[in-house]
Structure 1
Amino acid sequence: MFATRFAPSPTGYLHRGHAFSALTAHAAATAASGRFVLRIEDIDTTRSRPAFESAIYEDLAWLGLTWETPVRRQSEHLADYHAALAQLEAHGLVYRCFRTRREVAEAMASAPHGPMEVFRGGPLRSEEETARLAAGEPFAWRLSLDAAAAAVGGFDSLTFVEEGQGVIPARPELGGDVVLARRDVGVAYHLAVTVDDALQGITHVIRGRDLFEATHVQRLLQALLHLPEPTYRHHDLLLGPDGRRFAKRDRSETLRSLRERGMTPADLRKELGFG
């Protein structure tokens, strides 16, 4: 059965861009007589707030959307992500990286064959790693592109389907050895979302074009973890009068403020092309 999802992070109030994405996914599910799933991606415990999560439910209900319950909250399913990470570790596909962000930047800038656009590292010697672990030094789990390429027989045959464009070659090497987990925020976005989409039976990932590049590494993780491959649709981003996309960090006008100044759900739907 067709299934798609809207997966906001409770790190601020929703704005028009969120409404457009949620309505797009909901319309697709309705047209296909499929499932519309709401997921709360709250693994960033330093920025997620209960008030923002409550506002998500309120705003989406105001828009007239309905979704399956119970809602999956990522913070309640860390064991699923840790199990996936353990699977990758068991097959030698991840390594502990003790470099700070500054050290990573310096390593990229001083690469022997010229500055690197993305980070490519590797595990430490066993003795050094053991010593640093014993000293309690923080580290991040990074995906080893070299090991991953060997595991899937090279990236040339790795593809994903984008609605309207067809089969697209996956280029996970463009992201480098991405972080899959770290001590300060636990599991990282790429791993959590890949596991969730599989566990929730998502057949169509419908999201903004700003996340198109994330598909490359997520498709690799699906292959490494033997998870199903959804079809993707990355819709255009909603732009404001200034030509910039709506974003929380820019303090874009929120759905709450629109509601408070008298805008109706029908007004907003019409404005966004869903009238």
Structure 2
Amino acid sequence: MSGYRGRFAPTPSGPLHFGSLVAALASFLDARRAGGEWRLRLEDIDPPRCPPGAADTILRQLEAFGLHWDGPVSWQHERDDAYAAALERLKAAGLAYPCSCSRKQWRDYPVYPGWCRHGVCDPAKPMAWRLRSDLGPRPVVWPDRLFGEQRFDPAELGDVVLKRKDGLWAYQLAVVVDDADQGISDVVRGVDLLDNTPWQRQLQQALGYPEPRYLHLPLILGDDGQKLSKQNLAPPLPEVDDAVRPLLHAALAALDQAPPRELSTAPVAEQLQWGIRHWDVARLRAAPHRQTDATIP
């Protein structure tokens, strides 16, 4: 094994769709091409969004497409103590603060204006915990493997929530702690998460964590021009082999790897071996892709 360790980290709010497949496949191929590990993490820290059975469906879908992960599945709902310890470190460093403000109160502002930074506005109300984005390194600069140098001022993005008013952990803190604890060296994910990276880099530096490399992938759009997503009712991935083979081929095409047409009927394992041998990030185009553009004519 090389020092490469990647991951796929879906939220089990519903079954995977074609856009999910493209992201999972890219991270899988990138890890296997590097001779590294590929881990699976279920980001289930928001129970109301995660219906019973959704996680099991995701596991079956990944197995149907031959995307077999290394090691045990990691579950965020088991990680409360790790997130709490990280938040305490941020509090001690003066980088996290309690906030009673509601979104309705600051709806006329583009981002939360930091009203509670120097004291809670209404101590009688439930409180979230936010990151002091103005105290970390600014700007945050990093090289994306597809989109090139990225430069953001996190203070212009606002003080992101680390722990919600309802007591649930927020994505930004959980993902940073998990990536560090799992030793993730490379993050491959959709470009819709690119502007989350400045907060995550701030948290990594504040907590003394290693900073992974990032590869953000172009969006996959549906026929209506909207991003494929569960919210937009994207169709779930099939689990039957005859339907899986052409869709896996389409995902390789959506990643600009130009798989030969005859590969579309090949067994899943053969398609993945071809994908690993030919995986080339330099082929990726930054423009959004339509799912129909990747299908077999």
Measured against the shorter chain, the TM-score band is 0.7 to 0.9
Select the residue among 136, 139, 143 that pairs with 2:131.
143
Residues 165 and 241 of structure 1: is their aligned pair in 2 closer, same or farther, counting only changes over 3 Å? closer
Q: Provide, for residues 197-250 of structure 1, a one-character-per-residue CA deviation record: whole Å limited to 9, x for no partner.
A: 111111111000110100111111111111101110001112222222211011
Instruction: Give the secondary-structure state (helix, strand or coil) at the position aligned to 1:233.
Output: strand
- How many Å separate the matches in 2 of 1:79 and 1:7? 20
- Paired position in structure 2 for 1:42: 44
> Residue type of the partner of 1:226?
G
Question: Cα distance 1:27–1:103, how it changes in 2: closer, same or farther (>3 A)?
Answer: same
Give the structure-2-normalised TM-score: 0.79
- After superposition, what is the alpha-carbon deviation per residue over 1:45-102, rounded to whole angstroms, capped at 9, x for unaligned? 1111230000010000000111122111000011111111000001111111111221
CA distance in 1 between counterparts of 2:65 and 2:14 reads 18
Which one-letter code corresponds to 2:172 in the other structure? Answer: H
Moved over 3 A (4+): 122-126, 164-167
* Contact 1:207–1:234 (8 Å) recurs in 2: yes
Q: Is the 8 A contact 2:128 2:162 kept in 1?
A: yes
Using a 3 Å threshold, how does the CA distance of structure 1 residues 4 and 124 change in structure 2: closer, same or farther?
closer
State the identity as a percent: 38
Which letter maps to 1:176?
A: G
Could you tell which deviates more after superposition, 79-88 or 159-168? 159-168
Per-residue deviation at 1:174?
2.9
Counting matched residue pairs gives: 252
8 Å CA contact 2:117–2:132 kept in 1: the answer is no
Q: 1 CA distance for matches of 2:239 and 2:87?
A: 42
**Separation in structure 2 between the aligned mates of residue 259 and residue 65 of structure 1, nearest angstrom:** 12
- Corresponding residue number in structure 2 for 1:248: 230
Match of 1:65 in 2: 67
Aligned to 2:166: 184
Mapped to 2, the partners of 1:239 and 1:219 lie a distance apart of: 28
TM-score by length of 1: 0.85
Residue 266 of structure 1 pairs with residue 245 of structure 2: yes
Distance 1:73 1:238, change over 3 A: same
With over 3 angstroms needed to count, the CA separation of the structure-2 counterparts of 1:263 and 1:90, relative to structure 1, is same
Q: Helix, strand or coil for the counterpart of 2:26?
A: helix
Structure 1 stretches lacking a partner, 5+ long: 110-115
C-alpha deviations, 1:130-186, integer Å up to 9, x for none? x83xx5x3111011223x23xx4xx14x32221134443242123201111013251
Which amino acid is 1:139 matched to? M
CA distance in 2, matches of 1:225, 1:121: 22
Q: Distance in 1 between matches of 2:176 and 2:11?
A: 15
Match of residue 159, structure 1, among 138, 141, 163:
141
Q: Given the alignment, which residue of 108, 117, 120 partners 2:110?
A: 117
AA at the equivalent of 2:170? A
Could you tell me how far apart the structure 1 residues matched to 2:12 and 2:147 are?
32
The amino acid that maps onto 1:253 is P
Asked whether 1:199 is paired with 2:181, we answer yes
Change (3 A) 1:164 1:252: closer
Shift of 1:271: 1.5
SS at match of 2:28: helix
Answer yes or no: is the 8 Å Cα contact 2:6–2:187 preserved in 1: yes
- Do the aligned partners of 1:45 and 1:185 also contact (CA within 8 Å) in 2? no
CA distance in structure 2 between the partners assigned to 1:89 and 1:235 by the alignment: 34
Q: Is the 8 A contact 1:46 1:185 kept in 2?
A: no
In structure 2, relative to structure 1, the CA distance for the partners of 1:266 and 1:73 (3 Å cut) is same
Shift of 1:125: 6.7
Structure-1 separation of matches of 2:167 and 2:43: 12
